[in-house]
Every structure is written in structure tokens, then in C-alpha cells.
Amino acid sequence: MPRLTVEGYGTFDVPAGKRLVLAIEQDAQVDILHACGGNARCTTCRVEFIEGEPRRQTVAERDKLAAKGLTGVRLACQIYCDHDMTIRAISRLEGSGRPDPGGTPEAEITPPPEWIE
Ligand code: FES
């Protein structure tokens, strides 16, 4: 079972293969944003990796980060928890001025992932 550490919140066992955005919200109980519902459209689910950043990336994540000029962050909705990870939750509901975090992402990565290794 992979271990997810969220800086300032603790370390949590996460079912292998769970979407990172869901693990942060449901297992670590952190109020991460996911305004587009986990579809690589909004970038509000962005996190900083401290350890265990996955090498592979979806085409949708790469293209969205490039379009927004974002570096040093990853989209939690485009990552599966398949190994131990330590992240910083930098985009949270608290302080965002938003009424809610966004629609709950589906269990599998959407859109259907095309992987860049
Ligand atoms: S990009 Fe919108 S939730 Fe991940």
C-alpha cells in the first residue's frame, strides 16, 4: 500500500492506484481544489512534490501545464498513487474564495490517459 505524506498533515496509507487528488481529499482529509472535476482543465489540483514525483505524465497534464506556463508543479488529478509520495498541498479551498472544491473526480483518470514515460 503506497504511503502519501502531505506536508503539515501527516502520512497516510492509500489504496494502490488511487488518483492522487482523491487520496489527498479522502485519505489525508486535505481540502484540495479540483474545480474542473479532475479533467486536466483547471490546474487548481496542482501540488508540489517533495519526494516521489512520478516520471510518467499524461499528455493532458503536460499540455495544460505548458499552456498555463506552470513549472515545478504537477496536477494531482492526472497521477495515480502507485508508490510512496510526499507532496505540498498548495491549492486549497480555504482562502480560495470559492464556494466548493469542485465536482468529485471519477475513480479513473479523465480524460482517458495517454502516457508520456
Ligand atoms: S486540472 Fe482540474 S482538477 Fe486537476
Residue-wise pLDDT for 13-33, tens only, equals: 999 999 999 999 999 999 999
* Angle ∠(31,33,35) on CA atoms, nearest 5: 145
The answer, yes or no, to whether residue 87 has pLDDT greater than 90, is yes
* 76 CA closest ligand 1 atom index: 4
* The pTM of the whole model exceeds 0.95: yes
Label residue 117 by pLDDT band (50, 70, 90): confident
Distance 105 CA to ligand 1 centre (A): 9
Per-residue b or e along 48-81, where b marks 16 or more CB atoms closer than 10 Å to that residue's CB? eeeebeeeebbebbeebbeeeeeeebbbbbbbbb
Label residue 60 by pLDDT band (50, 70, 90): very high
The whole-number pLDDT of residue 99 equals: 98
25: region left, alpha or beta (phi > 0 left; psi from -120 to 50 alpha) = alpha
Mean pLDDT of the chain: 98
Label residue 71 by pLDDT band (50, 70, 90): very high
The whole-number pLDDT of residue 5 equals: 98
Pocket test for ligand 1, best of 41, 47, 64, 90 (most atoms within 8 A of CB): 41
The secondary structure of 62-77 as a DSSP string is HHHHHHHT--S-EEGG
Kindly report, residue by residue over 38-56, the tens digit of the pLDDT. 999 999 999 999 999 999 9
Pocket test for ligand 1, best of 42, 70, 98 (most atoms within 8 A of CB): 42
Distance 45 CA to ligand 1 centre (A): 5
Mean of the pLDDT values across residues 58-80? 98
Gap between the Cα atoms of 5 and 53, Å rounded? 12
Eight-state DSSP code of residue 117: -
The answer, yes or no, to whether residue 75 has pLDDT greater than 90, is yes
Pocket of ligand 1 (CB under 6 A): 34-36, 38-45, 75, 77
